[in-house]
Structure 1
Amino acid sequence: MELRHLRYFVAVAEELNFTRAAARLRTAQPSFSQQIRDLEEEIGTPLLTRTKRRVALTEAGRAFLDEARLVLAQAQRAVEVARRAARIDERKLIIGFLPSAEVKIFPSMLTVMRARFPELNLVFRSLTTLEQQRALSQREIDVGFLRLPVADPALRFDAVLRERLVAVMPADHPLARAEAVDIADLAAFPFLRISPHHAGGLHDIVEGFLRASRVEVTPVQDVDNVMTMMTLVGLGAGFTLLPDYVEHLLFRNVTTRPLTGAQTLVDLAMVWHQDNASQELATFRGLVVEALKWDAK
C-alpha cells in the first residue's frame, strides 16, 4: 500500500464518482479504477459499491476513509517539518566572539534577534581574535567580536565596546582593600600573563600599558583561558590585568581593583566581511548598536 492509493481512495470517496475523482488528480480513469481495485484487494474487503448510476462507501470504506485522511495529513505534516528544518539549516548566522561580547553584548539583544528571525539558526563560536580574523576572511563566520587592529582590508568593523583595564587579584591580597591600585605597587607580586598566542591584541595592550608605566613585572606563567586565569588568581598564583568584563565572572576568592592614573581602555570591535550582504547580518549589526546605546543611557 502506498500513499497514492490513499489519495485515490479519498478522492473517489469524496467525489463518489470515478470520472470526477480521476480528473481531480489528473489521472486516467482506467488506471485510477485499477488502483482502487488493488487497494481493496490488499485490504481484503470492498471499500466501495459500484453501479452504473452511483458509487457509495461500504461500512469498511467509511472506517477506512477516516484513517486514510489521518495518514495523508500526517504525511503532509512530515513534509512541512522537513522543509522547515531545511530552511532553518539554510538560514544561519555564525557569530564568533570573545568573552566580553558574551557578557556585555549578547544578553541585551539576542532575545530581540530571535523574535525578529524565529527561523534563523544563530550559531556561536568561541574563538580568539586571530581565529576570528581568519574565519571572517575565509567566510567561515558571518560576524565576529574581537580586539583591534584588523589586518584584512576586506573586513569592516565598528568599535562597539570600550572597557577599562583592571587589576585582578586574590580577594585576600594586601592591596585588595584599596579603592584603586598603582601598577607599581603590584610589581613585586607574581604576574600571570595573557598568552600572546591566545589573545595577541589584548596581550599587546597590556604590555604597552606596562611599558608606558615604566613598571617591570615578573611573569610566572602564560595563560590562554580566562577561567583558568581566574582559578590561578584564586589559588594565589599571582595577579593579572584584564578588561573589566571579568567583574561579571569573578570567583568568591578573586576581586578586581581599578588602576590609578590615566585609564587604559580596551576596544572590542564588531567585524564582518565587506561582501556579506545578508539581511540577517545587517539586522544583527543594527540591534547590537541599538542595544549598546540603550545600555549606555
Structure 2
Amino acid sequence: MELRHLRYFVAVAEARSLKLAAEEKLHTTQPSLSRQMRDLEDEVGTPLLVRGAKGVELTSAGRVFLDHARVMLAQAEAAVQSARQIAHSAKPSFSLGFMIGHDTTWLPQALKLLRDELPNIHVVISTQNSPQLATALLHGGIDLAFLRREDGGNELEFRTLVEESFEVFLPSNHPLAAREAIDVQDIVGETFISVSGTALSISGKQPALRRAIDRYLKDNGIEIRPSHEVDNLGGVMSLIPSTQGIALLPLYAKAFLPDAVTTRPLQGIGPKIDVSVGYRRANPSSILKLFLSRIDELTAKASR
C-alpha cells in the first residue's frame, strides 16, 4: 500500500464516482483508477467500494478506512512540512505534541517554559489523539508529547502531570439527566458508546482511555459490549444525541459538548486517567533534557 492508493481512494470516496475522480481530481484514466482501487481492496482484504449504476458507495469497512486514510495523509503532509521547516531553519528545533482538547491547557505553559530558556527556538506543534502521539514519539516525529500512558513498550518514558476524573456523558433529554449523580449500574441496558479498542493504537493494543473505561466497568462487575466504538471525541458527541447513547469520558471532553449533550458525575469513586508527558528514551535532544529538568514546574502549576 502506498500513499497514492490512499489519495486515490479519498478522491473516489469524495467524488462518489470513479469517472469524476479520475478526470477532474486525479487527471488519470478511469480504467487505471479502477485497477488501483482493486489493488487497494486486495491489500486491505475486504471490499471498500460498491460500484453501481448511480455511482460509487462506501461499504461499512470503506467508511472506517476513509477516516484513517485521511488521518494518514494528513500525517504524511505534516511530516513533509515539519522536515522542510527544520531543513530551512537556522534555529534549534523542537517538536511538541498535544492531545486534542488539551492543547489549550498545556500549550501556553509549555511554550513559556521553552521560551524562558531558549527564546530563539523553533517549535513545531502537532495536535492528535493520544495513540497517534505515542506512535509519533516512537517514530521520532515528535520530541515530547502531552498524552496518556499508552503501551509503547520499553522505548517510551512517561511522567504523570495530573489525573482526570470521569463523568457520564448523555443526551440532555435522557431520563438519567434529571439526576444529580448517576450510579454506574444504572447505565446497564443503555446504548453504550465507547472509545475504539483498536483504532489508531500502537501494535493493535488498546488505547489507554479504553483500558481505563473497561477496567472501571469490570471492577464494578459490569459487562457491557459497546453499541458503537469511535476513535475521536467529535464522533462520540455526535452519536450520543443521535442514538440516545451514554458514554464515560474524562472531564476535559466537556470542551466538546454540543447543546444536545450534558454530563453528570458518577456516584461513589469513579475512574481516573492520567495526563502525562511522554518521550522516547533514546532521543538525544538537549532541548528535551532541558524541558524535562523543569517538568516539576508544570506539575506544580497544574495542581494549583
> Shorter-chain TM-score: which interval?
0.5 to 0.7
Structure 1 residue 272 corresponds to structure 2 residue 273:
no
Offset, 1:182: 0.7
Matched with 1:292 is: 299
| Contact 1:143–1:271 under 8 Å retained in 2 | yes
Offset, 1:281: 2.0
Offset, 1:286: 4.7
Which is higher, the Rg of structure 1 or of structure 2?
A: 1
Matched with 2:210 is: 203
C-alpha distance in 1, partners of 2:121/2:105?
22
| Contact 1:191–1:218 under 8 Å retained in 2 | yes
C-alpha distance in 2, partners of 1:272/1:154?
9
With 114-123 and 234-243 compared, the bigger mean Cα shift is at 114-123
Matched with 2:152 is: 151
Q: Partner letter of residue 104 of structure 1? A: T
| Contact 2:131–2:150 under 8 Å retained in 1 | no
Matched with 1:178 is: 179
Offset, 1:161: 2.1
Q: Partner letter of residue 226 of structure 2? A: P
C-alpha distance in 1, partners of 2:257/2:293?
31
Q: Where has structure 1 moved over 6 Å in runs of 4 or more? A: 84-87
**Percent identical residues:** 27
Structure 1 residue 259 corresponds to structure 2 residue 260:
no
Relative to structure 1, the CA distance from residue 276 to residue 118 in structure 2 (aligned partners, 3 Å threshold; closer, same or farther) is: same
Matched with 1:25 is: none
Relative to structure 1, the CA distance from residue 145 to residue 112 in structure 2 (aligned partners, 3 Å threshold; closer, same or farther) is: closer
Offset, 1:167: 0.9
Structure 1 residue 241 corresponds to structure 2 residue 248:
yes
Could you state the TM-score of these two structures normalised by the residue count of structure 2? 0.62
Matched with 1:281 is: 288
With 144-153 and 259-268 compared, the bigger mean Cα shift is at 144-153
Matched with 1:108 is: 109
| Contact 1:187–1:218 under 8 Å retained in 2 | no
RMSD (Å) for aligned C-alpha atoms: 2.7
**1:88-133 Cα shifts (integer Å, max 9, x gaps):** 4652212233235324322433345345434322222234444333
C-alpha distance in 1, partners of 2:296/2:173?
39
SS at match of 1:176: helix
Matched with 1:189 is: 190
C-alpha distance in 1, partners of 2:181/2:296?
31
Matched with 1:163 is: 164
| Contact 1:190–1:217 under 8 Å retained in 2 | no
**1:153-200 Cα shifts (integer Å, max 9, x gaps):** 232220112111211111222122322211111222211121112362
Paired residues in the alignment total 214
| Contact 2:113–2:291 under 8 Å retained in 1 | no
SS at match of 1:153: helix
Offset, 1:264: 0.9
